[in-house]
Amino acid sequence: MPLGVFDSGIGGLTVVKALRTAFPRRDILYVGDTARVPYGNKSAETVEAYSREIIGFL
């Protein structure tokens, strides 16, 4: 089963790099939601909806 990484921008790429080092044989799926960044000014409900949508993709 692949590992899934979701970030509201591109900062999660550093997490992907660390995961590749720790788990070199695991497939990794990465989604960086650069279309709706920043998340900091969004309501909790909106961030939850975005998260559910992207988790469904992963």
pLDDT digit string, tens, across residues 15-50:
999 999 999 999 999 999 999 999 999 999 999 999
Query: What is the mean predicted confidence (pLDDT) over 4-24?
Result: 95
Architecture of the structural domain at 3-57: 3-Layer(aba) Sandwich (3.40)
Q: Is the preceding peptide bond at 2 cis, omega within 30 degrees of 0?
A: no
Please return the burial class of 6, using the count of CB atoms within 10 Å of its CB with bins 0-12, 13-18 and 19+: middle
At 7 the three-state DSSP class reads strand
Q: Tell me the whole-structure pTM to 2 decimals.
A: 0.80
* DSSP letter, residue 26: S
* Extents of the domains making up the chain: 3-57
